[in-house]
Structure 1
């Protein structure tokens, strides 16, 4: 990915001009007649996302004209690495530091390809770093997002609990962090009974992944759902519902990608990442509907449906996360279809028990062009999780408000004073757009990083 941004132009480097629809007429002032006629013939109107090649006086390519929306510079050039004739390009337009960094990041994301199993014959064009771009910030963000995408895109056969742990271990090693994992029967010895119960039926052993980094600053803890494949358990999913379940570890991919960005930026935080990594499989010792499971917190949970397993493994991880009294606790999970029904596939559902943190997240979602939508932790719905034989059920007693009741279930395992954010994400692009190919996707990560950066700058208090 980094090879597609370079520090040097050469004699063959072609200019890229960025122009919005209002400024097109002014840009054309003084341009050669041939350029004017070419744009007229090609009906180029500088609409965002459109671009056209410009002729030179030798009947070759003299440059590129790109239509942009100045409020969304991130994706302005994301289609160009694959869409332009192979070569080296430079941004000719003067840009602010923020816009230059956004354009560079968009270019990097536009070069992303999941090539683990398939080689791509067509090449990609490279860009000279825009003059005022923050190269470190763009590279760190691109690498974190690419890590998230790669982990989600990898099939479950090659991305089980052990492989997910290896990815976390490699990330910790790269940034001189600490890594450990509690594996198999040790989950019971160390009192993580729900993680063990969900994962015990699979040949691939369940585990709790634990990464730590940083010694100064506020405690920021990230928890990610790591269900590496979800068959639904004994409440087996239909084939259509099971097809994309390699992405059910998308929450873990999000927190590892976000951790990568935080560590690359060397934010002054005491970071911890917890990932309950399991497969929800079917075998003779699979947990069953109406079983009552123990949890690390001591609450008992009746299993209303074995396909609501993500919240079970998260319950133990959230309890452990709160044991250190973090200043900020954030979890990511591909938790409910109800969130997708409510908000569609592109917009992450965000639940938060702290209005200040929620407002910061919403603001950074707007600033970064990475929107999230706050959903309510509507307390009267808690009664829908009541069980006659246990402290609570893992599903509600009705068909409505499923994303809310799932969040309320998780809230039982969060200490009341801990500022907590829960993301219910799709983690997948159903269709390709510039810089956002079909497949695994990081959703809400840029907004969350911006919020964490501000949270740290304010001293770690909400």
Structure 2
């Protein structure tokens, strides 16, 4: 975990003092006249991201003032500092920030993806006590897992590698693992997963991890489309450029499962990841074909680029057969959700108001925002087929995120509490604590929700 170090007795760390405008004068007074005159002479203002090192008499750094502006309670208040401060160890010398939130933001801002090139520099390290470490480490590890999985290109993160990562996680936590590969999917009655992935040179898979012997049963499903060309309804170049991230739902599901197992949440867990590449070849599935799904519902293929809902529907049907207490699915499902909500707000669809309310509250508490979207069932008419029970898409471009969620809901029994998250899994640009590339969105909120529900 980058950017944090557990405090060691006697270890030296530079004092780091976060300040906002209403705190600056009192803080300068506590440092003495010489320090106050130095800071004022440099024209320091405590805006978010502002920094000033205050020298000691011997020329060393006595402390660092870090402006937080109006973001004093923001988990990202210090997130820009690890890659801007000189390398070394720092310690919070004030109780004005929550230490767990500050440490989490610090390590999120320390992240660098180093699989294919060296880190541009070592991050400055925040020295924290053991209690803070215990609280922060599992969350940061889970976020890093999502980022690493999504950032890895498909050449090294195809269906086998994605499921292999899941198998390693199972071994680490004493969970059971199995998978269905290639034509085994047809024999086991997962026809839509097979149909979407059969054109790739790397066979489609469904991986299953099971953990825990007591407690309510929770099933988590993640869309694992490791690359999406769009199939025969091929995407344009700019739409295909970042499709390595189309397994972002699986990355979230795997990371959440790892977080649950690491902290030993008292539940029985099943993790399901349908892992495929939506490729183009002579045996690719075609627009106009009809597939009979695991649930026996027939689906007409209107668009081969609406593949995520197809791989998910068989996994959802399999999960429903186990009659769990709760079903959660994560998917980079629709561009329509991004048009509606932008890149930062994952869209939550839930078939129970209490589930949606609890998740939104968890998002507010953890500063990991979510936004509820409606399951507006009259829009099911947009998925009507003249020859099958339902189509996977339709001619209208209206309400694309909603119709995708409604398609999934068709495979969820009314009696089963279910939540679907349409998540972007990506940062388009650099921001403090949110580097460009793969991103965990809603992950901390979901974990807080599960802690409250089952902890």
2:140 aligns with one of 138, 142, 151 = 142
Per-residue CA deviation, residues 359-404 of structure 1 (Å, 9 max, x unaligned), is 1111011111111000000011011111000000001331110000
The 3 A distance-change label for structure 1 pair 337 and 121 is closer
Residue in structure 2 matched with residue 27 of structure 1 by the alignment: 27
Residue correspondence of structure 1 range 107-256 to structure 2 within 5 A: 107-130=106-129, 133-256=131-254
The 3 A distance-change label for structure 1 pair 11 and 266 is closer
Residue in structure 2 matched with residue 433 of structure 1 by the alignment: 431
Q: Is the 8 A contact 2:3 2:125 kept in 1?
A: yes
Residue in structure 1 matched with residue 55 of structure 2 by the alignment: 55
Question: Structure 2 CA distance, aligned partners of 1:15 and 1:267?
Answer: 36
How far residue 64 of structure 1 moved from its aligned partner, in angstroms, is 1.2
Residue in structure 2 matched with residue 352 of structure 1 by the alignment: 350
Q: Secondary structure at the match of 1:285?
A: coil
How far residue 425 of structure 1 moved from its aligned partner, in angstroms, is 0.9
Q: Secondary structure at the match of 1:29?
A: helix
Residue in structure 1 matched with residue 90 of structure 2 by the alignment: 89
> Structure 1 stretches of 5 or more lacking a match?
458-462
Q: Secondary structure at the match of 2:155?
A: coil
Q: Is the 8 A contact 1:338 1:402 kept in 2?
A: yes
> Structure 2 stretches of 5 or more lacking a match?
none
The 3 A distance-change label for structure 1 pair 409 and 121 is closer
Per-residue CA deviation, residues 1-45 of structure 1 (Å, 9 max, x unaligned), is 257312216464210112222222222224223322332233333
Select between 60-69 and 313-322 the one with higher mean Cα deviation: 60-69
Q: Is the 8 A contact 1:216 1:268 kept in 2?
A: yes
Question: Structure 2 CA distance, aligned partners of 1:137 and 1:156?
Answer: 33
Q: Is the 8 A contact 2:2 2:123 kept in 1?
A: no
How far residue 199 of structure 1 moved from its aligned partner, in angstroms, is 0.4
Per-residue CA deviation, residues 156-185 of structure 1 (Å, 9 max, x unaligned), is 011000000100000111111111111110
Question: Structure 2 CA distance, aligned partners of 1:149 and 1:349?
Answer: 19
How far residue 280 of structure 1 moved from its aligned partner, in angstroms, is 0.2
Q: Secondary structure at the match of 1:283?
A: coil
Q: TM-score normalised to the size of structure 1?
A: 0.95
Residue in structure 2 matched with residue 304 of structure 1 by the alignment: 302
Question: Structure 2 CA distance, aligned partners of 1:182 and 1:43?
Answer: 64
Per-residue CA deviation, residues 71-97 of structure 1 (Å, 9 max, x unaligned), is 63421222222111111111111267x
The count of aligned residue pairs is 454
Q: Is the 8 A contact 1:100 1:130 kept in 2?
A: no
Q: Aligned-residue CA RMSD in angstroms?
A: 1.5
Residue in structure 2 matched with residue 65 of structure 1 by the alignment: 65
Residue in structure 2 matched with residue 323 of structure 1 by the alignment: 321
Q: Secondary structure at the match of 2:395?
A: coil
Q: Is the 8 A contact 2:29 2:36 kept in 1?
A: no
Residue correspondence of structure 1 range 8-19 to structure 2 within 5 A: 8=8, 10=10, 12-19=12-19
Q: Is the 8 A contact 1:72 1:369 kept in 2?
A: no
Question: Structure 2 CA distance, aligned partners of 1:95 and 1:217?
Answer: 39
